[in-house]
Amino acid sequence: MKLLTRDIPPRAAWALEQAGVHPLLARLFAARGVSSKDELDDGLNRLLPPTGLKGAAQAAVLLADAMEKSQRICIVADYDCDGATACAVAMRGLRLLGAEHAGYIVPDRMLDGYGLTPRIAQRVKDSGADVLVTVDNGIASFEGVAAARSLGLQVLVTDHHLCAVVDGQVQLPDAQVIVNPNQPGCTFESKSIAGVGVMFYVLLALRAELRQRGKFTSVRPELVEGQASTSSARTATPAEPRLDTLLPLVALGTVADVVKLDANNRRLVAQGLKRVRAGALPAGMASLFRATSRKSSVATTFDFGFALGPRINAAGRLSDMTLGIECLLTDDTARADELANTLDGINRERREIEGGMREQAFAIAESLFDEGDEPPPAICVFDPDFHEGVVGIVASRIKDKLHRPSFVFAASQAPGKEHELKGSGRSIAGFHLRDALDLMAKRHPGMLLRFGGHAMAAGCTIEEENLDQFEEAFSQVALEWLDAATLTRSLQTDGALAPEYRRVDLVDTLHAEVWGHGFAAPTFSEEVEVLSQRLVGEKHLSLKLRHQGQPVDGIWFGHTEPLPARVKIAFRLDAEEWQGRRAVKFLIEAVEL
């Protein structure tokens, strides 16, 4: 592992510090591209307006018309945390805005596959719906949208995934309205917004449309989230609802989907975190905090990404995402606790399945090259006993261990599809996974039955007989696109930590900020002395270190290899409590040997 230090623009760091930003934060923010304190303003009035999101205004008209006609609206969700939170935001938001007939359907990962399919369209029609709204899916559902239209349904696609490209031309489904920042002609600056964020913006546009139609009492227009009029109790017209109550869900889905935290996404997450810490969060989220032994009053993005998100995702991987969505929708505390505990149990089962699959996948991957040699430029793994709900996690583990783009396949469990393999891939910086699949599809027509995704994560379905061809095509693209520098494992860090910043209060300050993909959490690196080391729980290395002349505890999770007496480490800051006292602890991320 090569530990690299981020460049810190001195002018930007100085400007931030002069504007009152703590010196350590000024350095960290400057290294992440922030040049002025104004960029750190996370106020609601700094959010990008929905008017810039192509299709949002038309979506608002479609939904407002449906509400006026008392038509039934059905949300077609996705089975990951982004899709679940987007569905919950849609359902809660539509109810807040006065929709009387709104329901949802979530596909079954095993039976239905991904996205809006003709089968799902028929289920929506059979439910009595008039309007079909996709959340976090639909942009590549050509057959599903066509089937829904043929059944007489109006179709609104809300998605954030990249559009399909055929012969150099972007292809869009034939929906009445499409809202996706990545569609042609959309000038919305936040191209990385999550599916839940797209749905939130559609609701903002819908509220504006309903306001224009005179559906609400007068409001204070300067407040983005809306403000109820004091005269609302004396009129039959309802007060304009506050949609900021949905922001905890928006924050959770945004972090869990690992989208880039650009300025707008950071503001959405920051606003959600503020409400969570103040206790203004849905009952289901509060129950998930309790089920994971986390405190919502000091919630962080790590809680969203590594505690709540995985438990909601587990429902879609192993069971029915309806459990996750219902947990986010219920306002009954007892019911929320029951669902949260169920999700926690499913997640434990997921970890057990993952553990066995991971070891088997590692063995298969490591059999592809001789000991002491470098791994091939791309890894492709399949076993008939793999569980298709966990292939993405296992692909991520292989990618992390070998630092190679990795695909893991499992046999489809859908009736009549036993001859198909469903694969999930994870990538490294410098290798756009969805673009790689697109190139492979062009070179080998018919090899990929379906595919889609992002730069760092993507999925596809193939015939089992085409597995060898897929592996060869995947490796060929990797050979062409990856060079030695890209294939060398490295970690960007923030350099040395001054001893005066090794304080518990600064740990709390750092944890309170919004960190995530594209705005990495602070990771420091420098040489330390290893005073002692021992194994805990048989798989973690507990350390006593000397940092800048002072002793400090450390732990390296998931590693058992002993360290030399002096070693350069990359570490994050944490605080632990013992006998009523809190002390700084180093969480080791990597070592440079």
- The tens digit of pLDDT for each residue in 345-384 reads 999 999 999 999 999 999 999 999 998 899 999 999 999 9
Beta bridge partners of 197: none
**Does residue 564 carry a pLDDT above 90?**
yes
d(CA 279, CA 189): 31
d(CA 529, CA 507): 22
The domains of the chain, with CATH numbers, are: 46-281 (3.90.1640.30), 368-487 (3.10.310.30), 491-592 (2.40.50.460)
Q: Are strands 581-592 and 566-578 parallel, antiparallel or unpaired?
A: antiparallel
d(CA 520, CA 260): 10
Find the farthest-apart pair of alpha carbons in the chain and give their distance in angstroms, rounded. 79
Phi-psi region of 372 (alpha: psi -120 to 50; beta: other; left: phi over 0): left
Q: How many CB atoms lie within 10 A of CB 552?
A: 20
pLDDT score for 230: 41
Please provide the distance, in angstroms rounded to a whole number, between the alpha carbons at the two ends of the chain: 8
**Does residue 219 carry a pLDDT above 60?**
no
Q: Is the four-CA dihedral 20, 21, 26, 29 of positive or negative sign?
A: negative
Report the pLDDT averaged over residues 512-520: 95
Q: What is the DSSP letter of 288?
A: H
pTM for this model (two decimals): 0.92
**Length of the chain (residues):** 593
Q: What is the DSSP letter of 418?
A: T
d(CA 274, CA 100): 30
Q: Is the four-CA dihedral 202, 206, 212, 218 of positive or negative sign?
A: negative
Higher confidence at residue 290 or residue 109?
A: 290
Q: How many CB atoms lie within 10 A of CB 150?
A: 11
Q: Is the four-CA dihedral 572, 575, 576, 578 of positive or negative sign?
A: positive
**Does residue 227 carry a pLDDT above 50?**
no
pLDDT score for 577: 87
pLDDT tier at 593, thresholds 50, 70, 90: confident
- The tens digit of pLDDT for each residue in 95-107 reads 999 999 999 999 8
What is the DSSP annotation of 251-265? HHHHHHTT----HHH
